[in-house]
Amino acid sequence: MIIDMHIHTMISSTCSLIDPEECIRRAMDKGLDAICVTEHDTLEGGRVMKEIARQFDFLVLGGMEVMSREGHLLVYGYHIDIKGVPPAGEVIKRVSDAGGIVIPAHPWRQPFGWYSGAIDRPLEETEFARIFQVIEMYNGLSSAEENAMGKAFCAATGIHGIGGSDAHRIGDVGAVVTEFADDIEDESQLVEALKSGRYAPHIIKPLEERW
């Protein structure tokens, strides 16, 4: 299954220009099997999109992108909005205790990377490499160099990597995806699949080719 794991729509993200119906049409045109709606700090976008997606018989999975003190975190399989910029450790505890999974988004992106890049060591040498099972290896709004750092990190540590477009404009949808070996029908199956490591991220259309 091909899934774009990281999409913002105008339902809850004021920074996004993406209309929900247009997003679903675009995802279907691009041959995606599903999308994850990951609005900032709320699950609302995913809830609304699921309703809209019914008429298209298209799978929408709910998630969110939580702003933590250390960086942006993609959260899947959790059902309560997380607001207020908590420490990442608190987000990880809350979500893992409830059976969900936390995946750091675009860890190398400036200025929104992990610790905003304000560390003088490679992330491989920090606790970052020990607290996450999975990272966002490829992000559609990160540069080729930043995505290469994600790939190198996963290769060096054996940590699994996903890919998502981080779409804020319709042309971004499906630009970066994750290909899963298993079928996924809902958020709990998504979490299982993410923990299994049976997937690979792909850059379909690099950022440099979309401007």
Give contact residues for Zn ion (rule: CB under 5 A). 65, 72, 105, 166
Closer to Zn ion at the Cβ: 9 or 32? 9
Distant-in-sequence, close-in-space partners of 133: CB < 8 Å, separation ≥ 6: 101, 159, 160, 195
Residue number with the smallest Cβ distance to Zn ion: 72
CA dihedral 62, 123, 133, 114 (to 10 degrees): -20
Nearer to Zn ion, 38 or 181 (CB): 38
Q: Kindly state the smallest distance separating residue 3's Cβ from Zn ion, in Å.
A: 15
Q: How far apart are CB 106 and Zn ion at their closest, in Å?
A: 6
Minimum CB separation of residue 71 from Zn ion in Å reads 8
> Which residues neighbour 131 within 8 Å (Cβ) at sequence distance 6 or greater?
88, 89, 92
- C-beta of 55: minimal distance to Zn ion in Å? 26
**Is the Cβ of residue 41 or residue 65 nearer to Zn ion in the bound state?**
65
Q: Which is nearer to Zn ion, 24 or 75 (CB)?
A: 75
Q: How would you write 148-195 as a 3-class SS string? A: HHHHHHHHHHCCEEEEECCECCHHHCCCEEEEECCCCCCHHHHHHHHH
